[in-house]
């Protein structure tokens, strides 16, 4: 097996830049956030807010915040859909009327075609019914 060729200088430069971006965009903000949370926790503990009731309240807030954020996102989505619906209701009446007229015309053409398709059978049944009525009249007359 041959050894892998040495990476080109351009690839090394791109890899270095990518590693730097990953560190700046992922690890640094994550580390700062962890330090801030740890600092706040230490500050709260050192300030004497260590009662059970306060920590229960803090826990409750931490539980409620994600549900509140999700609820806000759902509410924003509903507002967006409502706005979009009102926009569509202003835009669509013309095209809907046009489509309705085409569908109505297609229905008329289909009804006409169906009538033409069954016309011979209906005519035959009518003639049969007339002949039957005439025959019954003749038989009842005799």
Alpha-carbon gap, residue 36 to 121, rounded angstroms: 88
| pTM for this model (two decimals) | 0.38
pLDDT average, residue stretch 121-138? 92
Q: Where are the alpha helices (DSSP H) in 50-92?
A: 52-91
85 and 97 both lie in a single domain: no
pLDDT in tens, 97-123: 889 999 999 999 999 999 999 999 999
Same domain, 86 and 97: no
108 in a structural domain: yes
Tokens of 15: 């890899």
Residues 103 and 137 in one domain: yes
Would 1 be classed as within a structural domain?
Answer: no
Decide if 27 is inside a domain.
yes
4 domain residue, yes or no: no
Q: Among 53-67, 76-90, 117-131, which is the least confidently predicted range?
A: 53-67
Residues 141 and 97 in one domain: yes
**142 in the same domain as 101:** yes
What is the structure's pLDDT at 2? 66
For residue 81, what are the domain limits?
51-91
Domains in the chain, number: 3
Q: Is-contact 54 46, C-beta < 8 A?
A: no
Nearest alpha carbon to residue 22 among 33, 12, 34, 14: 14
Would you place residue 141 in the very low, low, confident or very high pLDDT band (cuts 50, 70, 90)?
confident
């Amino acid at each position: 097996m041959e050894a892998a060729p040495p990476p080109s200088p351009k690839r090394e430069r791109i890899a270095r830049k990518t590693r730097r971006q990953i560190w700046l965009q992922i690890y640094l903000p994550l580390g700062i956030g962890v330090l801030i949370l740890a600092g706040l926790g230490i500050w709260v503990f050192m300030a004497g807010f260590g009662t059970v009731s306060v920590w229960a309240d803090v826990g409750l807030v931490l539980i409620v915040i994600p549900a509140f954020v999700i609820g806000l996102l759902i509410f924003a989505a509903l507002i967006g859909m409502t706005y979009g619906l009102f926009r569509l209701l202003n835009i669509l009446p013309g095209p809907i009327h046009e489509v309705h007229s085409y569908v109505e015309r297609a229905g008329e053409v289909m009804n006409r075609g169906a009538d033409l398709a069954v016309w011979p059978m209906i005519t035959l049944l009518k003639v049969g019914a007339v002949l039957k009525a005439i025959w019954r009249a003749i038989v009842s007359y005799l």
